[in-house]
Structure 1
């Protein structure tokens, strides 16, 4: 089985994939590394699986992942959360001498305290923490990079700072997915042997400017006593001012049938794009 993740090896996505495999009875896994979200998504086919970051504790949801889930025919089969932290490496002896700093786009939002203190420094955004390290190592005097703390022990540079994230307690949640659509009718007959489940989905109203639309949608879950743990709005991109809602519902074993009955009621009035149903 091929497991596609953001690479190269050594990224937090790589660590998350390996942590997930420790919880699953899977064998003969081949890791398939890609530099961009789109390439990870496009690489997953058949029974192979992929992993993308969904939410960071400090910087919130990863819009690049949500935007793909919004229209993608994928099924989420699980999730994994891992701790993350960052260090700074530089080819200078003092912070004031840094001219350029390489930082992954999501890492940047988690290290704002450090970055805003560095005046007149060019911030160069990368697609991966390991690419930040590679570009820094191929650079010159005055360069710096923010990289995973786990990589710091194998490096030696004039300036090295540990734990540069805005707070030490930091984690990122990743989703694991396959490349086939989540059929609401089909999965409604599945029953997970677990005490708790999570069901992610998008709901798109026909009209967003009608008073009470969101109130009406949320009412279905309130009446069914289903716990809504996530609510995000995203533009549908086909028309300005039109949005869909990303939701995650959590529940217990006894609520599985209630979940699907509720979603069928909602689907009779709104467009429901299910993303699966998995144990947590």
Structure 2
């Protein structure tokens, strides 16, 4: 069984996968590394699972993941949050000697204070933090990289600065999924009524009209379920038509209320469920 994640080994995705397996042990599983989000998704086999970053504490939701969720039939089976922080490493003696800096596309938004202090430095975006490390290792004098803080102890460059993220209490939330559609049918397996669940989904209204979001939210508010997240993404059908990414949480005692509400909502909107799991 393969666990497909963004690689190479040493990324925060790798740490998240290992943290999830520590919490939910799976026999005979192999972590399978890939260079891009799309490759991670495509590599998930019928009996395997995948992991993608969903939300960062400083930089918000990962648009590439939301876009994948919007168009794919997946079943989220869990989530895991891991702390993330970054250091600066450079083939330079001082900050003023840096000419270019390698930084992963999502890391860039978490280290704006540092990058804004280097206005004349060329920023080169990479697909993963470990690729930034590799680019720096193969680079020239004047090159630098923002790399995982965990790598600072195992790398050796002339200039090294710890904890360069905008906040030290930074974290990223990852989702774990299977490549199969999520059902809107209420599960029958008994659960502890006091335990909590999460239900992520996309809700797409048929047309854009005044008050449509309020109508959607009012149906959820009437259930006393907790609306954890709401994000809008274009449907790409025409300007002004949006789908809403929504996360709902509640206790398993409210499970029947959730699925009854979703059944009613599906008569008015397109519901694209993404999972139903314990948190």
TM-score, normalization by structure 2: 0.98
Task: Specify the alignment match of 1:179 in structure 2.
Answer: 179
CA contact (8 A) 1:110 1:166 kept: yes
CA contact (8 A) 1:229 1:249 kept: yes
CA–CA separation in structure 1 for the residues paired with 2:237 and 2:142:
44
For residues 201-253 of structure 1, the C-alpha deviation after alignment (integer angstroms, 9 at most, x for no partner) is 00000012x11101110011111111101000000112222110000000012
Indicate yes or no: 2:201 matched with 1:211.
no
CA contact (8 A) 2:102 2:146 kept: yes
For residues 153-194 of structure 1, the C-alpha deviation after alignment (integer angstroms, 9 at most, x for no partner) is 011111000000001010000000000000112x44344446
For residues 86-144 of structure 1, the C-alpha deviation after alignment (integer angstroms, 9 at most, x for no partner) is 00000001001100000000000000000010021000000100001101111100000
For residues 61-94 of structure 1, the C-alpha deviation after alignment (integer angstroms, 9 at most, x for no partner) is 0000000000100000000000000000000010
Q: CA deviation at 1:23?
A: 0.8
Q: 1:241 to 1:191 in 2, by over 3 A?
A: farther
Task: Specify the alignment match of 2:202 in structure 1.
Answer: 202
Tell me the SS of whatever aligns to 1:224: coil
Task: Specify the alignment match of 1:145 in structure 2.
Answer: 145
Paired residues for 1:220-231 under 5 Å = 220-231=219-230
CA contact (8 A) 1:192 1:279 kept: no
Tell me the SS of whatever aligns to 1:19: helix
CA contact (8 A) 2:57 2:171 kept: yes
* Structure 2 unaligned regions, length at least 5: none
Tell me the SS of whatever aligns to 1:70: helix
CA–CA separation in structure 1 for the residues paired with 2:132 and 2:19:
23
Paired residues for 1:1-280 under 5 Å = 1-185=1-185, 187-193=186-192, 195-208=195-208, 210-280=209-279
CA–CA separation in structure 2 for the residues paired with 1:191 and 1:242:
39
Aligned length, in residue pairs:
278
CA–CA separation in structure 2 for the residues paired with 1:133 and 1:21:
26
Tell me the SS of whatever aligns to 2:67: helix
Runs of 4+ residues deviating >2 angstroms: 187-194
Aligned Cα root-mean-square deviation (Å) = 1.0
